[in-house]
């Protein structure tokens, strides 16, 4: 297949591009390098130095791991629709994996500026992609990275995107109600609605992958060369909970559990993200179909994660403490949480469970860069409700 990776410079985009190329697909990556700007804006960097995307693509192509060299397009899909149209006219993908969005809830809550830029970047970019696909590749399959955060924490079971409801004696199948928790998560809800509309009206085909929180730093392909690594964030803006806790454990800092720590979410290993995207690509949605897969493998509370990291850290001789800190977010800290995730498993997903060995492996790799940890960027400063 010809597979286009939008957001190919990112934490998930770059490993996904190599994963497909290593399996014989013709791959192109596109990015505006915006994540690097947002990192500089917030004064944070990944734990390990990440070479420019151009260099990583060049190194990959020199290794000759795919049937054709990986193609690279640099441009902004949100601000430059002509770039998007050229991209689709030139490459003509069979499948599009769309990661090209501002990925951080805290970033979107910093101020009006970041909230607006998040929504413009994410929503406009997706709309430009939809119109480009309609014009040049109407039969292509759009695989869009959504988030489990679109649902929030309702007091009912979370179905996979759709729900059968009965109201005043009548029944219908409708999109599951959304209760997003940040302007970032809201942008993802807008994406879902726009894509469903395009499928229903234009006959496009799409899979919305409502992904849980991803952890981990290495895949088979990133391990092939020291400069093929992907970004690993631990800061309060871009660092996900488990990644952040692991760095705090190595740095000798208390693991900062927001509030009581009962917030429960779906999680998955970065290797399982690649599996899920591949399963979606190899099992395409039908014409006019907007399907939703809840993409996670296990559910844990924040406190569960903290205790797992503490146990693994102490097994390595680290002195790990847990600290409950004031929750900067507006969210339920004790709630019902029972999301369904059967679709991907029915397609053959074989997940990597979060074991002590997995966490210990992360901790050992982080120890190699202990001296460059920027402790000042970890503890929360962005608050959902300003005082």
Rounded Cα distance, 32 and 122, in Å: 13
Per the residue annotation, which of 45, 147, 230, 297 is the catalytic one? 147
Q: Is 144 inside a domain boundary?
A: yes
Q: Is 242 inside a domain boundary?
A: no
Q: Is 346 inside a domain boundary?
A: yes
Does residue 56 contact residue 70 with C-beta atoms inside 8 Å? no
- pLDDT by residue (tens digit) across 63-102? 988 789 999 999 999 999 999 999 999 999 999 999 999 9
Q: Domain tally for the chain?
A: 1
The pLDDT assigned to 386 comes to 74
Q: Which helix (H) or strand (E) holds 258?
A: strand 255-258
Q: Is 31 inside a domain boundary?
A: yes
Rounded Cα distance, 377 and 248, in Å: 11
Is 355 a catalytic site residue? no
Is 240 a catalytic site residue? no
Q: What's the domain range around 291?
A: 2-228+269-296+336-350
Q: Residue 266's beta-bridge partner residues?
A: 299
The pLDDT assigned to 94 comes to 98
* CATH number of domain containing 100: 3.40.50.720
pLDDT at 151 over 60: yes
Q: Is 278 inside a domain boundary?
A: yes
- pLDDT by residue (tens digit) across 229-278? 999 999 999 999 999 999 999 999 999 999 999 999 999 999 999 999 99
Name the pLDDT band for 191 (thresholds 50, 70, 90). Answer: very high
Per the residue annotation, which of 144, 188, 308, 310 is the catalytic one? 188
Q: Is 50 inside a domain boundary?
A: yes
Please tell me whether residue 380 adopts helix, strand or coil conformation. coil
Closest Cα partner for 206 from 215, 196, 194?
196
pLDDT at 156 over 80: yes
The pLDDT assigned to 277 comes to 98
Give the other-Cβ count within 10 Å of 34's Cβ. Answer: 21
Residue with tokens 């649902």: 151
- pLDDT by residue (tens digit) across 21-69? 999 999 999 999 999 999 999 999 999 999 999 999 999 999 988 789 9
Can you tell me the mean pLDDT for 279-306?
98
Q: Is 184 inside a domain boundary?
A: yes
The pLDDT assigned to 93 comes to 98
The pLDDT assigned to 65 comes to 83
The pLDDT assigned to 387 comes to 55
Closest Cα partner for 253 from 127, 375, 79, 110?
375
Per the residue annotation, which of 99, 107, 136, 184 is the catalytic one? 184
Is 350 a catalytic site residue? no
- Residue 300 C-beta-side C-alpha neighbours within 13 Å: 20
- pLDDT by residue (tens digit) across 336-367? 999 999 999 999 999 999 999 999 999 999 99
Average model confidence (pLDDT) for the chain? 97
Name the pLDDT band for 149 (thresholds 50, 70, 90). Answer: very high
Rounded Cα distance, 382 and 167, in Å: 41
Rounded Cα distance, 281 and 278, in Å: 5
pLDDT at 227 over 90: yes
Q: Is 48 inside a domain boundary?
A: yes
């Amino acid at each position: 297949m010809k597979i286009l990776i939008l957001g190919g410079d990112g934490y998930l985009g770059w490993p996904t591009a190599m994963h497909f190329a290593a399996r014989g697909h013709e791959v192109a990556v596109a990015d505006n390098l915006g994540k690097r700007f947002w990192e500089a804006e917030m004064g944070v960097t990944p734990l390990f130095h990440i070479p420019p995307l151009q260099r990583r693509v060049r190194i990959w192509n020199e290794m000759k791991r795919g049937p054709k060299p990986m193609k690279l397009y640099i441009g902004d899909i949100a601000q430059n629709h002509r770039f998007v149209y050229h991209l689709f006219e030139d490459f003509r993908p069979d499948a599009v994996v769309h990661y090209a969005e501002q990925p951080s809830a805290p970033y979107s809550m910093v101020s009006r500026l970041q909230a607006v830029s998040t929504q413009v970047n994410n929503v406009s970019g997706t709309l430009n992609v939809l119109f480009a696909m309609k014009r040049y590749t109407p039969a292509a399959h759009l695989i869009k990275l959504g988030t489990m955060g679109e649902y929030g924490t309702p007091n009912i079971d979370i179905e996979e995107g759709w729900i059968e409801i009965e109201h005043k004696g009548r029944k219908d199948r409708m999109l599951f109600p959304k209760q997003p928790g940040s302007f970032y998560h809201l942008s993802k809800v807008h994406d879902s609605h726009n894509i469903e509309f395009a499928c229903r009206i234009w006959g496009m085909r799409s899979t919305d992958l409502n992904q849980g929180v991803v952890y981990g730093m290495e895949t088979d392909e990133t391990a092939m060369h020291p400069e093929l690594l992907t970004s690993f964030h631990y800061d309060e803006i871009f660092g996900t909970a488990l990644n952040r806790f692991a760095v705090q454990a190595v740095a000798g800092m208390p693991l900062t559990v927001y509030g009581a720590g009962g917030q429960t979410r779906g999680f998955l290993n970065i290797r399982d993200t690649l599996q899920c995207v591949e399963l979606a690509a190899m099992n395409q949605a039908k014409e006019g179909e907007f399907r939703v897969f809840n993409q996670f493998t296990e559910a844990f509370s924040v406190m569960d994660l903290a205790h797992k990291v503490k146990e693994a850290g102490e097994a390595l001789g680290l002195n790990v403490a847990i600290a409950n800190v004031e929750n900067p977010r507006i969210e339920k800290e004790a709630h019902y949480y029972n999301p369904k995730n059967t679709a991907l498993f029915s397609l053959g997903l074989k997940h990597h469970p979060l074991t002590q060995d997995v966490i210990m492996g992360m901790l050992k790799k982080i120890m190699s860069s202990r001296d460059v940890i920027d402790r000042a960027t970890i503890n929360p400063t962005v608050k959902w409700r300003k005082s």
